[in-house]
Amino acid sequence: MEDIQSGPAQVALDIDVVGVRQLTLPLFVKDRAAGRQQTVATVDIGVALPSSFKGTHMSRFVSALEQWNEELDYTSVTRLLADVRDRLEAKTAFVRFSFTYFINKSAPASAIRSHIGYACRLTGELLGGKTSFLLDVEVPVMTVCPCSKAISDEGAHSQRTLVRISVRMTGFSWIEDFVAMAENSASSPVYTLLKREDEKFVTEHAFANPTFVEDVVRNVATQLIQHPHVSWFRVVVESLESIHGHNAFACIEQHCDGKGDERRCGASVHGEFSF
């Protein structure tokens, strides 16, 4: 049968990334407490396409994922990227796994346990024989406004706040560590299941530790700067304001290895931070 895709493009332009998106598959992820956990991932996968090819072979992406069937880690994803590159005769291969990572947490007073899910992404890119990875973790926390507390006779406004951490690393680190960084930087963690004694504890603890988004982003960034395996990070903290008609946000991006080739907060060819 004629292979139309392998012919030259009529318009001689290279394509940065071409592939398939929104593939869903079961996934095993390393779990510090249990060894590993099974979750479900949405996968985007693609390659760079030169103008010498009219199109790519979309079925080969799906075949590569179906035959991969491994636990998610840097070694296994590197193998997947190399397989995709070879199947598609490409120089660059790209894959992103978006998944929910679950942690079984104890409530602060009753110690009753429940699972809470965190939105995560692992993005890998193979270019010129070199593989790079980006890990994104989104952590919901609670913040109490210091200004509102200082000027109010009773109470202060509080809200859910999202801490979005993006990191490039030189060695393995647990997702749980980045979750803890975010939760320790805010007024309080959030929980799935709380009894009345837990609600009392969370409320009193949070109001004793009011934080602006500026406080949270600086607290997280300080911990990431000190992390031995983080070479670059971006932290975006967004407060879903309870009494304002807008959200507040703050962002810090920094290299920890002396190299300065990353994009700033909003820009990325692969949409690196668009949860």
What length does the chain have? 275
What's the predicted TM-score (pTM) here? Answer: 0.87
58-68 helix and 74-87 helix, angle to the nearest 10 degrees: 150
CA torsion angle 200 202 204 210 (round to 10):
-160
Q: Is the pLDDT of residue 181 over 60?
A: yes
pLDDT digits (tens, 9 = 90+) for 102-120: 999 999 999 999 999 999 9
Strand pairing category for 71-72 and 15-31: parallel
Q: Give Cα 128 distance to the centre of its chain.
A: 25
Q: How far from 112 is each of 160, 189, 205, CA to CA, in Å?
A: 22, 15, 18
Domain 13-255 fold is: Urate Oxidase (3.10.270)
Alpha-helix runs per DSSP H in 89-187: 146-151, 175-185
Q: Give the domain ranges of the chain.
A: 13-255
pLDDT digits (tens, 9 = 90+) for 10-21: 545 778 888 999
Burial of 270 per CB tally in 10 Å (0-12, 13-18, 19+) = middle
pLDDT digits (tens, 9 = 90+) for 27-69: 999 999 999 999 999 999 999 886 665 556 788 899 999 999 8
- What is the model's pLDDT at position 275? 39
pLDDT digits (tens, 9 = 90+) for 109-158: 999 999 999 999 999 999 988 999 999 999 999 999 899 989 998 888 99
Q: Is the pLDDT of residue 268 over 70?
A: no
pLDDT-based confidence at residue 273 (cuts at 50, 70, 90): very low
- CA–CA separation, 61 vs 89, rounded Å? 12
Average pLDDT of the chain, as a whole number: 88
